[in-house]
Amino acid sequence: MTRRRWIADEVTGNTAALVGEHAAHLARVLRAEIGQEFDIATGAEARSMVRRGTITAISDDRVEFALGEEHTLKPAPKITLALAIFKFDRMEWAIEKCTEIGVSRIIPVIARRSDSHLAAAAVKRRERWQRIVRQAAEQSRRAAPPEIAVPVKLKELDGAGVLPEGGVTRIVLAESLAGPEENTRLGEILQSRQNEAEVALAVGPEGGWAREEIAWFHESGWIAASLGGTILRAETAAIVASALVLDALR
């Protein structure tokens, strides 16, 4: 039977712990007991380290584990998803599913068509998004959740430290400036770049990127890609495109 995986909040030597609400779910909802064994992710995604953990102490806000054998996992593909801010319930569904698929970093982007009230609330919403990705990462047995970056304006994507630097293919789901007839399918782009190690993928809000934003992407060296002739909702496009990119990187 596959053991459930937890991402440790604290790790010291051969011990680890879940704390706060994280621990409360295991202690009260799942009624954990001393001696139960789980897989415990103990490091950052880059290290991909998981150890067998045996519960040694339980309280309502803290569960402690003795750590045993190590399991080194194959490094996961790296994809940064720059996701325009749109209606939070649907955006959060996309964040959850893209985490399960394997996205390594999510950058909320304030786009021209992002609702101003949502854009203003996005910074405070980040803590909730971090909880969502941790839960989704544990459910999908990842070694660590994706990073949720501080929301940025579109033109800040080229700022220092916002996107990975060097050897990163940058793809935006958007129409070509030459018109729909010049659109290139995402699959075709990925097939021509099979040896790429890392991809940054930008997905716009409902209604897509504004024309001046598409022009900015072109000027900044992003490759415009299409998912075909159908028009997908923003959350659907993010999930489908992320899955295609991750499959290509694997």
**What is the SS3 assignment for 47-68?**
CCEEEEEEEEEEECCEEEEEEE
**Mean pLDDT confidence for 10-23:** 91
| CATH fold label, 5-72 | Ribosomal Protein L25; Chain P (2.40.240)
**Mean pLDDT confidence for 119-136:** 95
pTM for this entry:
0.85
Buried b (16+ CB within 10 A) or exposed e, 187-220: bebbeeeeebebbbbbbbbeebbbeebbebbeee
Q: What is the pLDDT of residue 46?
A: 45
CB 222 within 8 A of CB 204: no
Using CA atoms, how far apart are residues 23 and 42, in angstroms rounded to an integer? Answer: 15
The residue that leads in pLDDT, 157 or 75, is 157
Q: Do domains 5-72 and 78-249 have the same CATH topology?
A: no
Tens of pLDDT, residue by residue over 83-104, are 999 999 999 999 999 999 999 9
Residue 177 has pLDDT above 70, yes or no: no
DSSP letter (8 states) at residue 106: E
Residue extents of the structural domains in the chain: 5-72, 78-249
Q: Which CATH homologous superfamily contains domain 78-249?
A: SPOUT methyltransferase, trefoil knot domain (3.40.1280.10)
**Mean pLDDT confidence for 196-209:** 90
Contacts of 213 (CB under 8 A, 6+ apart): 111, 112, 154, 174, 204
Residue 2 has pLDDT above 80, yes or no: no
SS3 39: strand
With a pLDDT cut of 70, the percent of the chain lying above it is 92
**Mean pLDDT confidence for 30-49:** 79
Residue 201 has pLDDT above 50, yes or no: yes
**Mean pLDDT confidence for 153-158:** 90
Residue 47 has pLDDT above 80, yes or no: no
Closest by Cα among 102, 94, 97, 12 to 48: 102
Encoded tokens for 184: 């290139």
| Model confidence band, residue 153 (pLDDT cutoffs 50, 70, 90) | very high
Encoded tokens for 66: 């003795």
The residue that leads in pLDDT, 149 or 76, is 149
